[in-house]
């Protein structure tokens, strides 16, 4: 067997952590040939929960699981790590303004980024799950510089992507695997723009064509996209909380695993969505962490942005509104003196 890959999970004692650990140790993220060494980072209040999960991992006797260490020390957690899943974050408390939330999370993701810069493996890649995910990734990337290139940091919009695919599969009565090239543009927030303009089905039809057939005509398809699909995908997190009485956990963990797996091992049919560092593609200000269409060949370049796709005026306006929100978050963080 190959050398174990060190994987760090922050917030490992939380809900998403619990849904992630066992699947990673079972090989769902890096495949059946790569043993893993898990480093679970928690804050003192979360240590017992993470330690309990570590005991259960031992009780699974996963052949691929080399060892597990639970710690509340950043340098121990990120020492030699190749893959970091940054899940733990400060949730929005009652009466907390957006500025307070950004500041509290800057206090988490700044030091974590610096620790990654100081002690992680040269090939490290980090994905931020904890919200506000895009801006937390921006802060972590800035704090890891100059040791780690910014494009090693990304944020999770794969859950939004998968939610969009799930909604289309349902209305079109096809399998989710038959749908390719959906895109989530922008921020992982209610301003995100789930876009099907380039999406296709396995039978060669475009999703727009299939929706028009299914719903009667092109106008009905557009109305469904505007009035049902886009708001439902963008607000799905709130719907899950309302129905389930708790936020998305297994679906979020699944999305994080697919994000890392595709980045490390390569995407298959078409592209996926991930919030990655912009170099100015599509007019997104350089350095912002913005959800864009990406592919990976499973090599050391990680996700590459698909360029040159076209927007109509309405799509452009939706995308720009979400990018404006990312700019406002970045400016708020700058005003705090963090960037």
Question: Do the annotations mark residue 217 as ligand-binding?
Answer: no
Establish how many alpha carbons lie within 13 A of residue 284's alpha carbon, considering only the half-sphere containing its beta carbon. 25
Clarify whether 188 is annotated catalytic: yes
Question: Do the annotations mark residue 233 as ligand-binding?
Answer: no
326 binds ligand NAX (CB under 6 A): no
**To the nearest 10°, the Cα dihedral for 124, 128, 177, 196?**
-120
DSSP string spanning 47-79?
HHHHHHHHHHHHHHT-TTEEEEEEES-HHHHHT
Give CA separation, 82 vs 3, 13, 133, in Å. 12, 20, 20
Tell me which residues in 35-54 interact with ligand NAX (CB under 6 A).
41-43, 45-46
14 binds ligand NAX (CB under 6 A): yes
Selected from 7, 8, 9, 16, the binder of ligand NAX by CB under 6 A is 16
Using only C-alpha atoms, the chain has a radius of gyration, in whole angstroms, of 20
Selected from 35, 88, 194, 293, the binder of ligand NAX by CB under 6 A is 88
Instruction: Give Cβ neighbours of residue 162 (< 8 Å, ≥ 6 apart).
Output: 176, 251, 254, 255, 258
Selected from 7, 8, 9, 11, the binder of ligand NAX by CB under 6 A is 11
- Spatial contact of 249 and 16, defined as CB atoms under 8 Å apart: yes
Given the residues 188, 198, 259, 268, the one annotated as active site: 188
Q: Which residue number places its CB atom closest to ligand NAX?
A: 14
191 binds ligand NAX (CB under 6 A): no
Give me the helices (H) in 7-119, please: 15-26, 47-60, 74-78, 98-119
DSSP string spanning 281-328?
GGGPPTT-EEEEEEEE-SSTT-EEE-------HHHHHHHHHHHHHHHH
**Smaller CB separation from ligand NAX, 89 or 165:** 89
293 binds ligand NAX (CB under 6 A): no
Selected from 21, 129, 140, 276, the binder of ligand NAX by CB under 6 A is 129
The site for ligand NAX, by CB under 6 A, has a size of 29
Selected from 4, 15, 69, 315, the binder of ligand NAX by CB under 6 A is 15
Minimum distance of ligand NAX from residue 218's CB (angstroms)? 32
Give the integer Cα–Cα distance in Å for 114 and 264. Answer: 23
* Residues that are catalytic: 188
Binding site members for NAD(+): 11-17, 105, 112, 129-131
Q: Which residues are annotated as a binding site for substrate?
A: 92, 98, 131, 163
Instruction: Please give the residue ranges that form the binding site for ligand NAX (CB under 6 A).
Output: 10-11, 13-17, 41-43, 45-46, 87-89, 91, 108, 129-131, 133, 156, 159, 188, 237, 247-249, 252
């Amino acid at each position: 067997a190959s050398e174990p890959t060190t994987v760090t999970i922050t917030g490992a004692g939380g809900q998403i952590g619990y849904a992630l650990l066992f699947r990673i140790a079972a090989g769902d993220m890096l495949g059946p040939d790569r043993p893993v060494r898990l480093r679970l980072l928690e804050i003192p209040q979360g240590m017992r929960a993470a330690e309990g999960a570590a005991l259960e991992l031992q009780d699974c006797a996963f052949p691929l699981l080399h060892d597990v260490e639970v710690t509340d020390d950043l340098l121990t957690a990120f020492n030699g790590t190749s893959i970091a899943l940054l899940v733990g974050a400060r949730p929005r408390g009652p009466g907390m303004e957006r500025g307070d939330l950004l500041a509290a999370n800057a206090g988490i993701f700044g030091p974590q980024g610096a620790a990654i810069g100081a002690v992680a493996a040269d090939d490290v890649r980090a994905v931020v799950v904890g919200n506000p995910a895009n801006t937390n990734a921006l802060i972590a990337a800035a704090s890891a510089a100059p040791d780690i290139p910014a494009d090693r940091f990304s944020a999770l919009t794969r859950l939004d992507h998968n939610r969009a695919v799930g909604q289309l599969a349902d209305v079109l009565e096809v399998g989710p695997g038959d749908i390719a090239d959906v895109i989530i543009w922008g921020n992982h927030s209610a301003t995100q723009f789930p876009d099907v303009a380039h999406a296709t089905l396995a039978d060669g039809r475009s999703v727009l064509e299939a929706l028009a057939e299914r719903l009667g005509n092109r106008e009905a398809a557009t109305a469904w996209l505007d009035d049902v699909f886009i708001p439902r995908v963008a607000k799905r997190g709130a719907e899950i909380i309302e129905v389930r009485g708790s936020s998305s956990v297994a679906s979020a963990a699944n999305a994080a695993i697919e994000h890392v797996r595709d980045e490390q091992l390569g995407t298959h049919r078409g592209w996926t969505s991930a919030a990655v560092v912009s170099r100015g593609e599509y007019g997104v200000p350089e350095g912002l962490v913005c959800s864009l269409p990406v592919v990976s060949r499973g090599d050391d370049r990680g996700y590459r942005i698909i360029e040159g796709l076209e927007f109509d005026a309405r799509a452009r306006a939706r995308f720009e509104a979400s990018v404006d929100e990312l700019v406002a978050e970045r400016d708020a963080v700058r005003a705090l003196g963090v960037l």
